[in-house]
């Protein structure tokens, strides 16, 4: 089992710990809301949504996160700043978890971050993301707003393979984050398609080995769009979805963007199994500390 020689950084955002050695802290499960075709989303431009549907989904998600003793974060997607602010505020009022401010581009997410500062939600807000297209002007805006938490997205046509993504982080994305005075950095290794998730597996380990930063990725779009499995029915599809998420967990990933919140019951217990097994090895074999919160104490 992996144990990195390099120091592993741990960032606390809200009530969640990102990073550390494999098994040290429970994996962070990031559930998405307000995605395309989300039943709760009624008008993405105005930020209208069905509160009853969303409250039920958040309740189910919270229940399974707490029962498994993994960690929770909500990914809030939006294309329009005012709607995104409204949606983030509702999530912040409904659950205690941090949330990703997942605007489609800087023109939506940066004004949203500014609005969230005005209503006192910056401590739990995580900018998603700083990427290849984030320019100096927008980095200065982030600095002025006082954004402290951000995802660095290693997506780019010239940055496909693990060493290229590492170089991209070292030479471009991390310097950008420093310009913006970001304190808590988490790295998304940027999934291209389903078979190339093997590249993300290798990249996640490389980033932790060389930089010690909290790292993960999002298999969700790739696996939910996989048509081959659908002919075998929903049970087989759930198994396939859970399998790719556990593959992500063994990379090892500190967090997993697992997609629509409605799939939490399909995915979270499987990842809790991996997280608990990792903690067992770290505690019993390595004789090293693990978090007070861990699936090891609840699922076996």
* 3-class SS shares of the chain: helix, strand, coil, % to 5: 45, 20, 35
The domain 21-297 belongs to what CATH superfamily? Answer: Dihydropteroate synthase-like (3.20.20.20)
Please give the average per-residue pLDDT across 4-27, as a whole number: 97
Tell me the mean pLDDT in the region 251-270.
97
Strand partners, 11: 18
Residue 1 has pLDDT above 80, yes or no: no
Mean pLDDT of all residues belonging to the chain: 97
Cα separation, 294 vs 88, whole angstroms? 27
For 140-196, what is each residue's pLDDT tens digit?
Answer: 999 999 999 999 999 999 999 999 999 999 999 999 999 999 999 999 999 999 999
Q: Where are the domains of the chain?
A: 21-297
Q: What pLDDT, on a 0 to 100 scale, did the predictor assign at position 170?
A: 98
Number of neighbours of residue 63 by Cβ within 10 angstroms: 13
pLDDT band per the 50, 70, 90 thresholds, residue 2:
confident
**Is the CB of residue 205 less than 8 Å from the CB of residue 256?**
no
């Amino acid at each position: 089992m992996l144990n990195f020689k390099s120091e592993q950084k741990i960032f606390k955002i809200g009530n969640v710990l990102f990073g550390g050695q494999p098994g040290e802290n429970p994996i962070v499960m990031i559930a998405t809301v307000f995605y395309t075709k989300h039943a709760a989303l009624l008008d993405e431009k105005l930020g209208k949504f069905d509160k009853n549907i969303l409250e039920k989904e958040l309740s189910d998600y919270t229940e399974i996160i707490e029962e498994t003793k993994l960690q929770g974060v909500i990914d809030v997607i939006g294309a329009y700043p005012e709607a995104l602010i409204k949606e983030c505020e509702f999530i912040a009022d409904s659950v205690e978890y941090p949330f990703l401010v997942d605007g489609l581009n800087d023109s939506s997410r940066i004004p949203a971050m500014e609005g969230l500062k005005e209503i006192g939600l910056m401590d739990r807000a995580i900018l998603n993301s700083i990427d290849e297209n984030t320019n100096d002007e927008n980095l200065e805006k982030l600095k002025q707003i006082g954004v402290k938490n951000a995802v660095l997205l290693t997506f780019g046509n010239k940055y496909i393979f693990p060493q290229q993504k590492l170089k991209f982080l070292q030479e471009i994305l991390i310097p950008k984050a420093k310009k913006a005075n970001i304190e808590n950095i988490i790295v998304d290794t940027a999934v291209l398609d389903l078979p190339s998730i093997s590249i993300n597996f290798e990249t996640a380990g490389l980033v932790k080995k060389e930089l010690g930063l909290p790292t993960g990725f999002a298999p969700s779009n790739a696996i939910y769009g996989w048509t081959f499995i659908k002919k075998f029915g929903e049970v087989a599809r759930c198994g396939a979805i859970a399998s790719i998420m556990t593959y992500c967990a063994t990379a090892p990933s500190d967090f997993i963007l697992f997609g629509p919140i409605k799939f939490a019951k399909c995915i979270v217990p499987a990842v809790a199994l991996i997280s608990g097994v990792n903690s067992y090895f770290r505690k019993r074999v390595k004789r090293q500390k693990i978090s007070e919160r861990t699936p090891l104490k609840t699922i076996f």
